[in-house]
Amino acid sequence: MASGVDADDRGSAQANAHANATANANADADSADSAANAAAAEDSSGSGGARSQTASEAFLDEITQSVSASIYEGRYENGRRYHTYREGAYPLPEDEREQDRLDLIQHWFGLVLKGELQRAPLDWTHDEPSDAPRRVLDVGTGTGLWALDFADLHPDAQVIGTDLSVIQPEWTAPNCHFIIDDAESDWIFTDKESFDYVHVRYLYPGIGDWERLWQQSFEHLRPGGWAESQEISAWFYSDEPGFEHSNIQYWQQTMDDATARIGKRFNRAHEQKDHMIKAGFVNVVQEIIEVPMGTWDKQNLEIGKCALLNAFEGLAPTSLAIFSRVLDWDMPQIETLLAAVRNEFLYSRWKTHAKFYFTYGQKPADA
Q: Residue 319: name the closest of 307, 306, 337 by CA.
A: 337
pTM score: 0.76
- The verdict on residue 91 lying in a domain is yes
Comparing CA positions, the residue from 52, 197, 175, 60 lying closest to residue 119 is 197
Residue 365 CB neighbour total at 10 angstroms: 10
Residue 102 lies in a domain: yes
State the pLDDT at residue 281.
99
| Among candidate residues 297, 288, 299, 302, the one with its CA nearest the CA of residue 348 | 297
What's the domain range around 231? 2-26+64-124+226-362
- CA pair distance 241, 331, nearest whole angstrom: 31
Q: What is the pLDDT of residue 95?
A: 74
Q: Where do the DSSP E strands lie in the chain?
A: 75-77, 80-82, 135-139, 158-163, 176-180, 195-201, 221-232, 282-292, 353-362
Question: pLDDT band for position 62 (50/70/90)?
Answer: low
Rounded to an integer, what distance in angstroms lies between the CA atom of residue 256 and that of residue 235?
Answer: 9
**Which of 41-45, 174-178, 343-347 bottoms out in mean pLDDT, i.e. has the lowest?**
41-45
Q: Is residue 205 part of a domain?
A: no
Q: Per-residue b/e over 157-172, b at no fewer than 16 CB within 10 Å?
A: bbbbbbbbbbbbbeeb
Q: Would you say residue 282 has pLDDT above 60? A: yes
For residues 44-52, average pLDDT: 43
- Report CA dihedral (4, 9, 14, 17) to the nearest 10 degrees: 180
Opening angle at CA 231, ends 194 and 189, nearest 5: 20
**Does the structure show a pLDDT above 90 at 351?**
yes
- pLDDT of 300 over the 90 cut: yes
Contact (Cβ atoms closer than 8 angstroms) between residue 303 and residue 232: no
Average pLDDT of the residues of the chain: 81
**Rounded Cα distance, 14 and 102, in Å:** 10
- Measured CA distances, 200 to 32, 142, 250, 345 (Å): 24, 11, 29, 28
Cα 184 off chain centre by: 14
Q: Is residue 358 part of a domain?
A: yes
CB contact at 8 A, 203 and 231 = yes
Q: Does 146 fall in a domain?
A: no
Domain count for the chain: 1
Question: Which of 186, 170, 187 has the alpha carbon at shortest distance from 178?
Answer: 170
Residues 6 or more apart whose Cβ sits within 8 Å of residue 336: none
Which amino acid type is present at position 259?
T
User: What is the per-residue pLDDT across 105-137, written as a single tens digit (0 to 9) for each?
Assistant: 999 999 999 999 999 999 775 555 555 569 999
Task: Examine residue 178 and state whether it is found in any structural domain, yes or no.
Answer: no
Confidence at residue 253, expressed as pLDDT on a 0 to 100 scale: 97
Whether 162 is in a domain gets the answer no
- The answer to whether 177 and 133 are in contact (CB under 8 A) is no
Spell 253-278 as b/e; 16+ CB within 10 A means b: ebbbebbeeeebbbbbbebbbebbee
160 within a domain of the structure (yes/no): no
Longest dimension (CA), the chain: 76
Span 213-242, average pLDDT? 96
- Give the range with max mean pLDDT: 25-39, 44-58, 199-213: 199-213
